[in-house]
């Protein structure tokens, strides 16, 4: 998570790791301290620790005023390991740094969380309204408008971390509920869904409907070919969805 130019990233699978760092020179250089712990699968390997710096060499191109998708915001870690409480964030005219900070403020505001669509609240520096789908993410639950900038906005989508769905497919699955309770996320039929989702992940064709869900699949990260992320919305009620991370090598 990023706050005032600093960030912390933690993961527990497939290898326990933590990265901390910050941006310098107006965001044009980043410094990172990293630590990778010994994996149970490779007990002979030692812990790896180090420091690196990198400079910005390119910027994503986006026409002014066009909506953008920002990096996911982790606001809390949950059990089991690998599952967090998080937000997806989109923005227009706000910038991702402020948009992600508004998601944290929404999470911290007791008067905001749990609002019915159409109801409003305030967080520091913005007014927010509960919605049922946004311009960037059709699952978004809130739109926040910064004070004094009526044409700018940030949209946030809560991902509630849940217990892992049971599976006999030989993979590890992590689940998040989006506009549903954890019973729906944990009960997702991953064994029936795995083959079509995996085929979609490999690019063998469009994602076929699975047990009443319409799914989209994306890579977890550019360097992680052993896992993929699936967002599956109920066909009957598309605002209700489950997000899954499927780890193939366990």
Interatomic CA distance for residues 6 and 31, integer angstroms: 10
- Residue 124 inside a domain? The answer is yes
Q: Are residues 77 and 33 located together in one domain of the fold?
A: no
The separation between CA 243 and the C-alpha centre of its own chain, rounded to angstroms, equals: 9
Q: Are residues 195 and 142 located together in one domain of the fold?
A: no
Q: Are residues 76 and 51 located together in one domain of the fold?
A: no
Tally the C-alpha atoms within 13 A of residue 99's C-alpha that lie toward its C-beta.
Answer: 25
Q: Is 156 left (phi over 0), alpha (psi -120 to 50) or beta?
A: beta
Query: Are residues 65 and 93 in contact, defined by beta-carbon separation less than 8 angstroms?
Result: yes
Q: Are residues 167 and 238 located together in one domain of the fold?
A: yes
Q: Are residues 154 and 182 located together in one domain of the fold?
A: no
Q: Are residues 31 and 87 located together in one domain of the fold?
A: no
Alpha-helix residue ranges (DSSP H) falling in the chain: 96-108, 182-186, 190-201
- Residue 62 inside a domain? The answer is no
**185 three-state secondary structure:** helix
- Residue 121 inside a domain? The answer is yes
- Residue 176 inside a domain? The answer is yes
Q: Are residues 122 and 154 located together in one domain of the fold?
A: yes
- Residue 63 inside a domain? The answer is no
Q: Are residues 78 and 134 located together in one domain of the fold?
A: yes
The last residue of a domain, from among 159, 182, 197? 159
Q: Are residues 17 and 43 located together in one domain of the fold?
A: yes
Q: Are residues 146 and 168 located together in one domain of the fold?
A: no
Backbone angles phi, psi at 105, to 5 degrees: -65, -40
Q: Are residues 147 and 225 located together in one domain of the fold?
A: no
Q: Are residues 81 and 109 located together in one domain of the fold?
A: yes
Interatomic CA distance for residues 28 and 201, integer angstroms: 33
- Residue 61 inside a domain? The answer is no
Interatomic CA distance for residues 250 and 231, integer angstroms: 21
- Residue 29 inside a domain? The answer is yes
Interatomic CA distance for residues 200 and 242, integer angstroms: 17
Sign of CA dihedral 59, 63, 64, 66: negative
**Quick one: pLDDT at residue 1?**
43
**Closest-CA residue to 71 (of 97, 53, 52, 104):** 97
**Closest-CA residue to 16 (of 104, 72, 81):** 81
Number of domains in the chain: 3
- Answer yes or no: pTM beyond 0.85: no
Interatomic CA distance for residues 13 and 7, integer angstroms: 19
Interatomic CA distance for residues 170 and 37, integer angstroms: 24
Predicted confidence pLDDT, tens digits, the chain (250 residues): 444 567 777 776 556 778 788 777 656 778 888 887 766 665 667 787 888 888 776 555 456 668 899 988 999 886 666 688 999 999 999 889 899 999 999 999 999 988 999 999 999 999 999 999 999 999 999 999 999 999 999 999 999 999 989 888 788 899 999 999 999 999 999 999 999 999 988 887 778 898 899 999 988 765 456 789 999 999 999 999 999 999 886 5
Residue-range definition of the domain harbouring residue 35: 2-55
- Residue 51 inside a domain? The answer is yes
């Amino acid at each position: 998570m990023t706050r005032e130019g600093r960030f912390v990233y933690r993961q527990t699978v497939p290898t326990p790791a933590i990265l901390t760092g910050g941006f310098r020179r107006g965001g044009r250089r980043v410094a990172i301290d990293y630590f990778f712990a010994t994996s149970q699968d490779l007990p002979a390997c030692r812990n790896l620790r180090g420091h690196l710096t990198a400079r910005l060499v390119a910027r994503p191109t986006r026409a002014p005023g066009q909506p953008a998708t920002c990096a996911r915001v982790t606001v809390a870690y949950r059990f089991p390991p690998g599952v967090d409480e998080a937000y997806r964030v989109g923005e227009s005219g706000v910038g991702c740094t402020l948009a992600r900070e508004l998601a944290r403020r929404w999470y911290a505001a007791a008067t905001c969380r749990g609002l019915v669509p159409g109801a409003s609240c305030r967080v520091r520096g913005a007014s927010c309204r509960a919605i049922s789908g946004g311009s960037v993410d059709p699952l978004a639950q809130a739109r926040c408008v910064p004070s004094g900038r009526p044409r700018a906005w940030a949209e946030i989508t809560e991902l509630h971390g849940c217990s892992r769905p049971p599976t006999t497919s030989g993979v590890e699955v992590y689940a998040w509920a989006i506009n549903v309770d954890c019973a729906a996320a944990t009960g997702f039929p991953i064994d029936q869904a795995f083959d079509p989702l995996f085929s979609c992940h490999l690019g063998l064709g469009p994602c076929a409907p699975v047990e009443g869900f319409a799914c989209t699949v994306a890579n977890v990260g550019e360097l992680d070919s052993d896992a993929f992320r699936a967002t599956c919305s109920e066909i009957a009620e598309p605002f209700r969805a489950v997000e899954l991370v499927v780890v193939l090598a366990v």
